Structure 1
Amino acid sequence: MPRLSLALPHGADPVSRWRITARAHENFLRSDPRGDAEVRPVVLESWRRSAALHVDPDRPGSPITLTDDALAEARATHPLRYAMPVVRRLLIDDAAEAGVLVIVGDAQGRLLWAEGDEDLRRRAERIHLVAGADWGEDAVGTNAIGTALAVGDTVQVFGSEHYTRSVQPWSCTAAPIRDPLTGHVLGVLDITGGASVVAPQSAFLVRSAVAAVEAELRLLGATEGMAAPGSRLEVLGRPRGQLTHRGRTHELSLRHTELLLLLAEHPDGLPAGELAWQLYEHDAAEVTVRAEMSRLRKAVPDLVSPAGQYRLQTELRTDAMEVAERLTRGDHRSAVELYKGELLPRSTAPGVVALRYRLHGWLRNVLLQSGDTEALRTYATSPAGREDTQIWRACLDRLAPGSPHRAEAAAVLTGLDGELGHAG
């Protein structure tokens, strides 16, 4: 690994460094090479790439490329979601006290999570340093996130080293996160704030956090380049299930999805009679269940045992289980991000309906009782919470007085109250 280029080595004067680099930056934009020698090579090379990409140095902020459902989908499907508890424990829990933002993005530089000091978050919104924004070099030029991805190593960018003028009041340190098996870049971890975030110890802190994240991914077998054990069934917000088994994806019928979901919830297995009771609102012969199970075993061999006590022959994880696990751990934000909607909303099978109500009610009650503003707002703007008056009211009550989201919450509540009054 190349020697890390520190933005502010021990003994460097931040004010002097800022002025020298700002003067070199203005000269560079005028194609005047004076001052190039005073700019760190990693920064100068990034300025050259930014100019070649025709990045506008006067653009007010980054483009927003992921919004609402697209952002929720990106978070819920990215392997780094498994590592967010580690990031929160090591960095985010102390970020507010330290006065910094902690950011996790994907391999293209799109920000998936941006958490930390509330005042900084409000200021960061002005330049679109928010979840869903694109901070690749091709979008905003030199910055720690995009440049770390471009060079594949830890990068610090101090103040006027940023290519875009609107970002120059900020400083940042970032490092790529790699698949621990293949070495391919999965995303990026960044801390952003004032000059303190480019102190030498900040680079070591970010590198240590990345090492912990990669160790967690290896332990969980959660990255794209690794073969996760067992199979996976997606049932949240879907009319029928999508099964991933032995590297193949199967679009299942609703009945086959219900069968697998019930067996996943009962790893010791269920007899045909019990399955019939949990599948049908009315009396149904066990032979009906056996016929459906036979069709399922032909469609997806080696997944379910033969007739008798039906049980899964391999571990089957569901996205509903993952939400429940995060609620158990108290990781409300990750639970909300994974919750794409109600469990098999079209199913009327008694056993499935019970699972649906239990998970939805659990998540909703936890958020109402102890959810933070970020988790509440994420849920409120999702399909599951978009028309939930109680959730929006809790969101409004917990938002800081100066939050720009208060107006949105108040407007939604006014609309919902009007619809309810009209219906009444």
Structure 2
Amino acid sequence: MGELQAPARDFWTALEPGEDKATRLKQVRRAHELFVQTGTLSPATGPTSVRSVVRDSWMRSAKGGVNPSGMTDDSSMSWNDFLEYRNGHPMAAAYPLVRSLMLDEVSDSGVVVALTDDVGRLLWVEGDHKARDQACDINFVEGALWAEQVAGTNAPGLALEVDHGVQIFGAEHFAVRVQDWNCVAAPVHDPVTGAVIGVIDVTGGERVATPFALSMVKSVVAAVEGELRIRSLTGELPRAAAPPSGPDLTVLDGDRYFWRPVGGGPSMRLSRRHAEILVLLGEYPGGLGTEQVATMLAEDGIDPVTVRAEISRLRRDVGADVVASRPYRLTMPIDSDIGQVRRMLRIGEIARAIEKFGRGGLLSASMAPGIAEVFEELKEDVRSAVLTSGNPEFLRAWTASVHGREDLSAWRRWGQSLPPGHRDEALVHGRLRLLDRRFGM
């Protein structure tokens, strides 16, 4: 259960004949330095020295605004709330078995063992005392978030992203401060639904940088999933409770935009400008400076004083504890209907993604350059998922939506997918003739 997509070649398979680990990691470190400086991977270092699973993660980390030179503390729970959440989480049922299978083996080995939830929050971090103290320096502590979009490329965050076991070595980490560590992680799945409920991770030094480390973690995960399956049959497995309710942003449902505060409660209507700022801060969790916000909000930029005033009003409305300054950034992860569309695409719920994205809302109405960029990226993500699927129902839904009605390639793909004499054949051919005339094809 859980191998939803074939994993990219592992580190050891990727080595060229006669090449050793140290040589490859020097190349990876150089590729990382160039990537941070230029935003691209040099043909001389990127494609051959950096595994595709790592390269793709670096791209997502950079696009999401993760700072490669720093680490963000994104733990948004009080300690008491965290303990209540942890103790009621299904991974709590896995914890005793992980202790018995792993912790005695690593107590003096310079490594730590971590269990996370399904969003990358570290529920337990145990193991070698010295290693745990050193892990505190990179905020690898209970309660902290290590999702890829928060901490950049790392094994637990990447395992959640790709839903299979991964091993990450030193310089493959996106954040420089983490590059002294190696880590290996694999996801744990709910025995009933198959959904990912968390990750088991081992982080440390050279002991984690072996070909057998990933196999060891996968074996423990298999044992844990077996134990959870037994508990689910006997009714002893707790169902995942949502963590204390975080903030929620709605911007795709027409021309009204809403913010639901931390802990739930009534939603608050937002001005378009405040909705735009919250979307931008959500897209760049590493933070934005005043000038960056100004250029993302208007083609010719807006006065920095105006930016500061708008964000001051925004902090008054949504809470000063939600938006930090220097740089402007969200102090906690927020959910949004934009994020929901991305999650739908990731798990193959393409029809639902088309329906939610097709409502329009802020992304299609805003003239702000930064929002227009988010819109174009999300539109291309949805469109690519539709075209790649070749599913006639997805193609029908996309071409019926406001964003896909003039997508000539989609109409052609839909026509090609229909058997001769299908009831939709005349509709598709008629629309293709119309679009050909309209675009002079």
The 1:62/1:147 distance shift into structure 2, 3 A limit, reads farther
Indicate the residue corresponding to 1:84 in structure 2: 95
Name 1:207's counterpart in structure 2: 218
Deviates more, 1:26-35 or 1:42-51: 26-35
CA contact (8 A) 1:62 1:129 kept: no
Q: Distance in 2 between matches of 1:180 and 1:43?
A: 29
Alignment of 1:18-417 (within 5 A): 18-29=25-36, 30-34=38-42, 35-37=45-47, 38-60=49-71, 62-221=73-232, 228=235
- Which digits, 9 at most, give the CA deviation of each residue in 1:55-86, with x for residues without a partner? 11111454333441022012111011111111
d(CA) in 2 for partners of 1:209, 1:145: 15
Question: What residue identity is the alignment partner of 1:24?
Answer: A
CA distance in 1, matches of 2:163, 2:7: 13
1:92, CA displacement in angstroms?
Answer: 1.3
Counterpart of 2:9? Answer: 5
Q: Is the 8 A contact 1:177 1:210 kept in 2?
A: yes
Tell me if structure 2 keeps the 8 A contact 1:114–1:131.
yes
Is 2:56 the partner of 1:14? no
Judged with a 3 Å threshold, the aligned counterparts in structure 2 of structure 1 residues 126 and 25 are, in CA distance, closer, same or farther, namely: same
Residue 133 of structure 1: how far off its partner (Å): 0.5
The whole-number CA distance in structure 1 between the counterparts of 2:8 and 2:106 is: 24
Q: CA deviation at 1:134?
A: 0.4
Cα 1:64–1:230, aligned 2, differ >3 Å: closer, same or farther? Answer: closer
Q: Residues 179 and 31 (structure 1 numbering): CA distance in 2 closer, same or farther, change over 3 Å?
A: same
Percent sequence identity over matched residues? 41
Question: Structure 2: which amino acid aligns with 1:228?
Answer: G
2:57 and 2:158 in contact (8 A); partners too: yes
What count of residue pairs does the alignment treat as equivalent? 228
SS state at 1:23 partner: helix
What does the per-residue CA deviation read over 1:159-211, in whole Å, with 9 as the maximum and x for residues that have no partner? Answer: 00000101000010000100122110000000000133131211110000001
Alpha-carbon distance in 2 for matches of 1:56, 1:169: 17
Question: In 2, are the aligned partners of 1:61 and 1:166 still within 8 Å (CA)?
Answer: no
**Conserved? CA contact 1:145–1:188, under 8 Å:** yes
Deviation at 1:3, TM superposition (A): 4.7
Whole-Å Cα distance in 2 between the matches of residues 4 and 45 of structure 1?
Answer: 11
- The code of the aligned residue for 2:22 comes to V
**CA 1:25–1:207 in 2, change beyond 3 Å: closer, same or farther?**
same
User: How does the TM-score come out when normalised to structure 2?
Assistant: 0.49
Q: Does the CA contact (< 8 Å) of 1:18 and 1:160 recur in 2?
A: yes
- Residues 182, 204 of structure 2: 8 Å contact kept: yes
Any idea what SS the aligned residue of 1:104 has? strand
Q: 1:143 to 1:122 in 2, by over 3 A?
A: same
* Alignment match, 2:250: none
Give the gaps of 5 or more residues in structure 1.
Answer: 233-424
CA 1:198–1:67 in structure 2 vs 1: closer, same or farther (change >3 Å)?
farther
Q: Which amino acid aligns with 1:129?
A: F
Aligned in 2, Cα 1:62/1:202: closer, same or farther, shift over 3 Å?
farther
Indicate if the aligned counterparts of 1:95 and 1:117 stay in contact, CA closer than 8 A. yes
Q: Which ranges of structure 2 fall in alignment gaps of 5 or more residues?
A: 240-441
Q: Is the 8 A contact 1:65 1:110 kept in 2?
A: no
- The root-mean-square deviation of aligned C-alpha atoms, in Å, is 2.3
| Distance change in 2, residues 1:141/1:18 (3 Å) | same
| Contact persistence 1:171–1:198 (CA under 8 A) | yes
Alpha-carbon spacing, 1:171–1:185, altered in 2? closer, same or farther (3 Å)? same
What secondary structure does 2:201 align onto?
Answer: strand
Is the CA contact (8 Å cut-off) linking 1:174 and 1:191 kept in structure 2? Answer: yes
| Contact 1:144–1:174 (CA under 8 A) maintained in structure 2 | yes
Bigger CA radius of gyration: 1
Preserved contact between residue 184 and residue 217 of structure 2 (Cα < 8 Å): yes
Confirm or deny: 8 A CA contact 1:6 1:156 kept in the other structure: yes
Deviations 1:192-238 (A, max 9, x none): 001331312111100000011111111111xxxx7826999xxxxxx
Equivalent pair of 2:231/2:237 in contact (CA under 8 Å): no
Distance 2:111 2:81 in 1: 26
Q: Please state whether the residue corresponding to 2:120 is helix, strand or coil.
A: coil
